[in-house]
Amino acid sequence: MASDESALESRGQPNGGSNGHSTGTSPAANGTIGTVHRNGSTYSYKQTAALDAVSESEIQDFLKKAEIHISELSASSLRPITHFSQIPPSKLMSKKPFVTFNTPTPIQSASWPYALSGRDTIGIAETGSGKTLAFSVPCVEALSSVKKSKRFGGHSTHARAVIVSPTRELAMQTHAAISELASLVGLSAVCLYGGVNKDEQRVLLRKNSGADIIVATPGRLKDFLSEETVSLSEVMFAVLDEADRMLDKGFEDDIKQILGSCPPREKRQTLMFTATWPMSVRGLAEGYMVDPVKVTIGNRTRAGEDGEGATELQANSRIAQTVEVVDPHGKEQRLLALLREAQKGSAKNDRVLVFCLYKKEAVRVEKFLQWQGIRVCSIHGDLGQEQRTRSLEAFKAGTTSVLVATDVAARGLDIPEVKLVINVTFPLTIEDYVHRIGRTGRAGKQGKAVTLFTEHDKAHSGSLVNILRGANQPVPEELLKFGTTVKKKAHDSYGSFFKDVDMSKKGTKITFD
Ligand SMILES: Nc1ncnc2c1ncn2[C@@H]1O[C@H](COP(=O)(O)OP(=O)(O)OP(=O)(O)O)[C@@H](O)[C@H]1O
């Protein structure tokens, strides 16, 4: 259909519209269009004929079954893209194979029409549900559908898209994923992260006269911005991956500086994706976006509170969660028994991820396991970046089947076939718990998580009970004895991974009774 063919091509074409940002959609009849006017350009998405042809009852069934909630579900809502063939024709779509998966995941289905329309989008979906591709496709589409402007000027690389990740390993993983898509349409992506020499990254930034997409951790990106090796002044597409973590106190100033180096929010498209969306960061998100559409997957919307329905914290329901209330002194022996049990017989090479809270604890647990003859490696903030990368590679390759980690590995890492996650010490927040266990049970697979809970963790018992109940998991009596009250989280102490806990500082969040 001729109109479909031009569906994404009008992106970035000046239409003489306002310099501001406005949105508009036609009714959800055939030929639904999502249009955003920004910075003198019109960004529009036209529903394909194939998607038009799907009956309304099928669409409603799909939305219900996939538990898709869109913050502005109304007559003007854009239909979910239920097959890859329903993405409007574009330069990227014409590349075969564009992706090797059979169907889009719910977060991809529901968020693509909005993100492809140029809308600011918040995407909330369980761990391992394909959020990376959910933001990568619109990013590459956005860049490939406008004429390239100057990308390298003076000493600076002028990136047109920036993706910010909380950890180095996640930045590297996202870079690998988006590079694959970007290269299909002749775009380049560079990854910037700390802990390694800057010179190699400088060379990469200058190669081929600049990079179109920058995937970065905040610290290293700020360094390159301050020395003017990188300029974000031409950014048209910005993503905060693990958005709640990026908005939390630990990163708030960095994000302010990074997004402050991009064109104002009215002149760029901003996407935020995460599996957890605590109240504490929601107001902050709105400050960086324009009229965002919120796409939530999962039956976790409560009426009221924020006007559109509050998003409850939810763990991936394909993970079998077990909580064992144990004596703090017996944790290592119990860990050993759990590992021996999990890696019995034909399962001897099954991957197990063991989480500790503190770096020193991770070192101790790794040594203990080595002493017991277990092949183990580790990843935490006291290790050099090369060692961190080596450990992760060994774990991914299966040469070491047990990885001991701090929360630096809790978010986003997509390691194939992690069969079991063991929490030796409970994390600082319940969100971190959801992310930690989310390293298993990814992409539709089943997973298992065992948590050793002690009296020291009792402040978390209420929120943990809620998570277990929400995912239909057994709640042990011993856990209930610690109480079911949910303590309100203090925003400035939210999360722990990235900057590992400094034992010399007095914690505000950890309460040892
Ligand atoms: N449409 C799809 N069909 C099947 N698998 C997919 C699809 N899209 C992505 N995947 C795969 O699913 C896995 C998880 O995806 P991804 O890492 O993007 O999850 P995520 O939602 O970002 O998780 P987290 O919240 O932990 O960061 C990856 O291995 C990815 O390749």
Range in 5-9, 201-205, 429-433 the model is least confident about: 5-9
Residues 6+ apart with CB under 8 A from 495: 245, 248, 250, 407, 428, 429, 431, 432
* Nearest atom in ligand 1 to 132's CA: 18
What is the pTM for the complete model shown?
A: 0.88
Task: Please report, for residues 85, 99, 126, 447, the alpha-carbon distance to residue 102 in angstroms, rounded to integers and kept in the order given.
Answer: 10, 8, 19, 22
Asked if the interface predicted TM-score (ipTM) of this complex is over 0.95, the answer is yes
- The larger pLDDT score, comparing residue 229 to residue 14, is at 229
* Nearest atom in ligand 1 to 127's CA: 25
| H helix intervals, 384-456 | 385-397, 430-437
Tell me how far the alpha carbon of residue 130 lies from the centroid of ligand 1, in angstroms.
3
Q: Looking at the predicted structure, is the pLDDT value of residue 280 above 90? A: no
Tell me how far the alpha carbon of residue 358 lies from the centroid of ligand 1, in angstroms.
28
Mean pLDDT rounded to a whole number for the chain: 86
- Whose CA is closest to atom 20 on ligand 1? 128
* Nearest atom in ligand 1 to 274's CA: 25
Res 309: pLDDT:
47
The structure tokens listed for 436 are 């930690």
Question: Quick one: average pLDDT of 352-370?
Answer: 98
* Nearest atom in ligand 1 to 438's CA: 26
Tell me how far the alpha carbon of residue 40 lies from the centroid of ligand 1, in angstroms.
35
Res 481: pLDDT:
95
Is residue 446 very low, low, confident or very high in pLDDT (cuts 50, 70, 90)?
A: very high
H or E element at residue 423: strand 418-423
Cβ neighbours around 162 below 10 Å, total: 25
Res 156: pLDDT:
85
H or E element at residue 135: helix 131-144
Res 489: pLDDT:
55
- Whose CA is closest to atom 13 on ligand 1? 443
**Residue 410 near residue 429 (C-beta atoms within 8 A):** no
Identify which of 289, 298, 295 has the alpha carbon closest to the alpha carbon of residue 122: 295
Torsion of CA 157, 290, 239, 164, to 10 degrees: 80
137 in helix, strand or coil? Answer: helix
* Nearest atom in ligand 1 to 177's CA: 31
d(CA 468, CA 346): 30
* Nearest atom in ligand 1 to 104's CA: 1
- Whose CA is closest to atom 10 on ligand 1? 130
Identify which of 188, 271, 205, 282 has the alpha carbon closest to the alpha carbon of residue 237: 271
Share of the chain above pLDDT 90, in %: 74
Q: Please give all residues whose beta carbon lies within 6 A of any atom in ligand 1, as ranges.
A: 101, 104-105, 108, 125, 127-133, 275, 412, 414, 438, 442-443
Is residue 96 very low, low, confident or very high in pLDDT (cuts 50, 70, 90)?
A: confident
Cβ neighbours around 303 below 10 Å, total: 8
Tell me how far the alpha carbon of residue 228 lies from the centroid of ligand 1, in angstroms.
34
Q: What are phi and psi of 137, to 5 degrees?
A: -60, -55
Tell me the pLDDT tens digit for each residue of 312-338.
899 999 999 999 999 999 999 999 999
Residues 6+ apart with CB under 8 A from 450: 322, 323, 324, 338, 420, 421, 422, 423
Q: Looking at the predicted structure, is the pLDDT value of residue 496 above 70? A: no
- Whose CA is closest to atom 22 on ligand 1? 131
Torsion of CA 320, 321, 327, 331, to 10 degrees: 60
* Nearest atom in ligand 1 to 412's CA: 27
- Whose CA is closest to atom 31 on ligand 1? 130
Tell me the pLDDT tens digit for each residue of 201-246.
999 998 866 799 999 999 999 999 999 999 999 999 999 999 999 9
Distance of CA 467 to the CA centre of its chain: 19
d(CA 460, CA 468): 12
Tell me how far the alpha carbon of residue 67 lies from the centroid of ligand 1, in angstroms.
17
Tell me how far the alpha carbon of residue 413 lies from the centroid of ligand 1, in angstroms.
10
- Whose CA is closest to atom 1 on ligand 1? 104
Tell me how far the alpha carbon of residue 109 lies from the centroid of ligand 1, in angstroms.
13
